[in-house]
Amino acid sequence: MRMHKLLLVALLMAVLAVSLGASNIDPAHRWAWMENAGWCNWRHNRPDPGDGVEVGATFLSGMIWAENVGWINLGDGSPFNGAFYGNVAGSDFGVNRDPITGQLSGMAWGENVGWINFDGGAMASPPQPARIDLAACRLRGYAWAENIGWVNLDDTTTYVALLPSACRRLGDMNCDSRVDAADVLPFVLCLINPAGYQAQYPWCDPIYADLSQDGRTDGADVQLFVRCLLLNACP
C-alpha cells in the first residue's frame, strides 16, 4: 500500500510542469462599466496574451485596464496569511472572495482614482453585493469608488464572466475555479488522507475528487484526474 501511494504521488507530481494561465476571465465577456470613468477591461492581454484578472478560491489578483483612468490593481496574489488580503496596510490589500457564498470584499487600488471598495454594493439599498455567481459563471453586483462612483458588474448584456472551465467543480481540489497543477497535491491529500484534506481546505468538498462519480474517491479517479489536468477533459 505504501509503495502504491508513493507511485501515485510520483505520477501526479510529474504533471506539475503544466503551466498556469494568467487569467481565467472569459475573453468574450471581460468588460464592466464605471459610472464616471467608462469601460474597464478585466482581460486586456497587456503586455502578454491572457494577462488580466485571475479569480482564485479566496482572493482575486491581477490588473484591470481602463482607458480613461489607467490601471486598477485587485491584489498581488500573495496575501500575508496565504488566504485573504488583510486590507489594513498598503502592502497587503486586495479583493477577497468568500469561498462559500462567492461574495467579494476588500479593496482595489486605481492609480488615478484611489481606492475601490468591493464591500460597497452590500451596503447599498437594496444591497447589491459584488460576488461570483458560479451558476451563471459570471460576476454580479456593484463595487463603490469614492472618486468615480459605482462599478457595475450586474449588467445583463455587457459583463465580466469566468471561463467555463473556471466554473466546474470536479477536479478543482483547491477550489480556485480552475483545474491546474495547483490541484495535484490537494488531490493526492484527499485520496490518501481525507480528514487532512478537509482540515487544510475547509471551503472545499472532497466529492470534487470523485471524477468517476461513483460515490467514492479511489484509484479509479486518478486516471480521470490526470486526463482532466493534461487534456482539459474534465467530467
* Tens-place pLDDT, residues 30-40: 999 999 999 99
Indicate whether 8 and 44 sit together in one domain: no
Instruction: Please confirm whether the linkage preceding 186 is cis (ω < 30° from 0).
Output: no
Are 144 and 52 in a shared domain?
yes
Last residue of a domain, one of 131, 147, 162: 162
Q: Please, is 71 exposed, middle or buried when counting C-beta atoms within 10 Å of its C-beta (0-12, 13-18, 19+)?
A: middle
Q: Is the pLDDT of residue 5 over 60?
A: no
Per-residue pLDDT tens for 77-105? 999 998 899 999 999 999 999 987 899 99
Distance CA 185, CA 175 (A): 13
Only one residue has cell 485573504, namely 84
User: Residue 178's closest CA among 167, 192, 191, 190?
Assistant: 167
Please indicate, yes or no, whether residues 97 and 189 belong to a single structural domain of this protein.
no
pTM of the model: 0.73
Q: Which of 139, 162, 185 is the last residue of a domain?
A: 162
Mean pLDDT, to the nearest integer, of 191-219? 89
Range picked from 156-160, 167-171, 229-233 for highest mean pLDDT? 156-160
Examine the pLDDT at 16 and tell me if it is beyond 50: no
Q: Which domain holds residue 202?
A: 2-19+168-231
Which residues fall within 8 angstroms of residue 16, CB to CB, at 6 or more apart?
181, 184
For residue 32, the cross-strand partners are 40
